[in-house]
Amino acid sequence: MGSLLPPSGSLQVKRVAIIGAGPSGLAVAKYLLAENAFDKIDIYEQQAEVGGVWNYNANITDHIPVPQTAPLVTPDEPIWPPGAVAPLFPNPMYDRLITNIPKHLMQYSDQAFLPQSLLFPTREDVQDYLIKYSQDVRHLIIFSTQVEDISFSQENGQDRWSLTARSTIDSKVAKIPYDAIVVANGHYSVPFIPSVPGIQAFQAKYPSVISHSKNYRSPQSFRNQKVIVVGGGPSGLDIGNQISVVCQKPLLNSVRSEEPLKLGKENKEEVPPIAEYLIEEGGVRFEDGRVEKDIDAIVYCTGYLYACPFLRSLDPPIVTTGRRVIGLYKQLIHISHPTLAFTALSKKVIPFPVSEGQAAVIAKVWSNKLVLPEENIMNAWEKKQVEEIGDNTNFHILGYPKDADYINELHDWAGCAEDGFTKEPPYWDEQQRHMRSMFMDIRKRFVELGGKATTMKELGPEFENFDR
């Protein structure tokens, strides 16, 4: 992991703020508590319950700009349902979502999913799981409170952070000092809708046609409509499958490359990316020249931009284009300000165990039991990553086997602490790595058998050895 030589002065971290009580924020809190080295740990959560993206509500964002290619947008306003004691904030969770990760891999190392949970748990099961996981850190959570600003200063050579938070219930504002900040607010807030020739004029003439998966809740509003779903990732696949059952056949799935998992193919047709919007025809031209007219709905399942509006005063900025977070070592710790950490930025990973490994490293570094490499070494690591991967959205994409390697690297890194493990994060053995390499096949078999299995054994003899 680089040099472990001690720096000229140790970090003086006693007061820690965690932004977000979703899966990664909860994991960080547990590992910080286990270290027994911090006087104050506060978790700020704008919703009235834990869960982050898994904390479903039916409300949707009032307005998503079309196109939206920059992260500098106004955060979502709170929504007050009738009779509510606290407001809600829209998120991208939809009615009939099940995970695309088998529960054996998805779960935290110290809490299994219930045996009766589906092999690929429903959103309800995941939310219940997270509420249970939060029980021993709930006393640290400041609910219904939105972080508006975090400013940096130095005091006697040490990093100091001033956090401004506003209650979403009574609008009271508090300004509180901290020694370290964990940004665990996820990356599913600012939708990305690409700029395509003609899209602005099309949106002006047909303002109800183009939407983003963040505002998708159920397929019913697409019944008998002519629909294009843009994107071939997990949300594009799942949302497209749901809509394809009720919309005009076939649903057109606009993708850059052929999708390997052909679920729902009987109701869908893969088409190339959209090259141009055609205003008079109410349609689009695809990159192969094909034209489709009179489109009723276009759903962009094209992901999200990274955004940290509460860190806008940090110079240099950590987010510019929204395609990645700048200046981090190992996608985790800010190089210039090592008392600032970011969790769960990586994509195409198994997020719960990744968050645990990251949490273990943060706890050891901030308790001065694990020393970071020299700043020039950390900068060189990031520079090499940019050269090899690119200064774009691919920077945070791992996938298999990189995500498995990263989980084990974090485990071993935390284990280098002078006192070893206080709370040990996950380490994937060969069986878990094999399961990760096959989980698309596992998912396909699960769907083929009706989506009711709760164990690997139910999928057939070739999968039963994965039950643990």
Residue 73 banded pLDDT, cuts 50, 70, 90: confident
pLDDT at 8 over 50: no
Checking if the pLDDT of 384 tops 80, the result is yes
Q: What is the pLDDT of residue 1?
A: 42
pLDDT > 70: percent of the chain: 96
pLDDT(255) > 50: yes
pLDDT-derived band of residue 274, with 50, 70 and 90 as boundaries?
very high
- As given in the structure block, the two tokens for residue 382 are 């990031």
Region 42-50 average pLDDT: 98
Confidence check: pLDDT of 437 > 90: yes
**What is each CA distance from 194 to 68, 200, 274, 297, 437, in whole angstroms?**
6, 11, 10, 16, 31
Mean pLDDT of the chain: 94
At residue 398's C-alpha, the angle toward residues 396 and 400, to 5°, is 170
- Please write the tens of the pLDDT for every residue from 185-231: 999 999 999 999 999 999 999 999 999 999 999 999 999 999 999 99
pLDDT at 78 > cutoff 60: yes
User: Which H or E run includes 396?
Assistant: none
- In angstroms, the CA 159 to CA 341 distance is 13
Residue type, 38: F
Q: Is the predicted pLDDT of residue 262 greater than 90, yes or no?
A: no
> Locate tokens 């070893």: which residue?
420
pLDDT of residue 261: 60
For 284-296, what is the mean pLDDT? 98
* Encoded amino acid at 268, one letter: K
pLDDT in the model for residue 263: 62
Name the token pair of 333.
Answer: 């710790």
Gyration radius of the chain over CA positions: 23
Q: What is the pLDDT of residue 468?
A: 62
Of 439 and 414, the structure prediction assigns the larger pLDDT to 414
pLDDT at 365 over 90: yes
**What mean pLDDT do residues 460-466 have?**
87
Three state DSSP letters for 186-232: CCCCEECECCCCCHHHHHHHCCCCEEEHHHCCCCHHHCCCCEEEECC
> How far, in Å, CA of 64 to CA of 216, rounded?
12
Instruction: Give the C-alpha separation, 410 to 150, whole Å.
Output: 27
Q: Identify the band that residue 336 occupies on the pLDDT scale cut at 50, 70 and 90.
A: very high
Q: Once rounded to an integer, what is the mean pLDDT over residues 156-166?
A: 95
Token pair in block for residue 256 = 């850059």
DSSP conformation class of 395: G
| Average pLDDT of the segment spanning 376-390 | 97
CA distances from 103 to 90, 346, 457 (A): 26, 19, 14
Which two tokens mark 321? 């284009």
467 has pLDDT over 90: no
Query: What is the average pLDDT across 49-70?
Result: 92
**Residue that wins the pLDDT comparison between 466 and 406:** 406
- Looking at residue 63, what is its pLDDT? 82
The pLDDT, as a whole number, for residue 2 is 36
Average pLDDT rounded to a whole number, residues 70-93: 91
Mean pLDDT of 352-370: 98
- Whether the per-residue pLDDT at 303 is higher than 70: the answer is yes
**Model confidence at 44: pLDDT above 80:** yes
Q: Which of 35-39, 153-157, 325-329, 415-419 has the lowest mean pLDDT?
A: 153-157
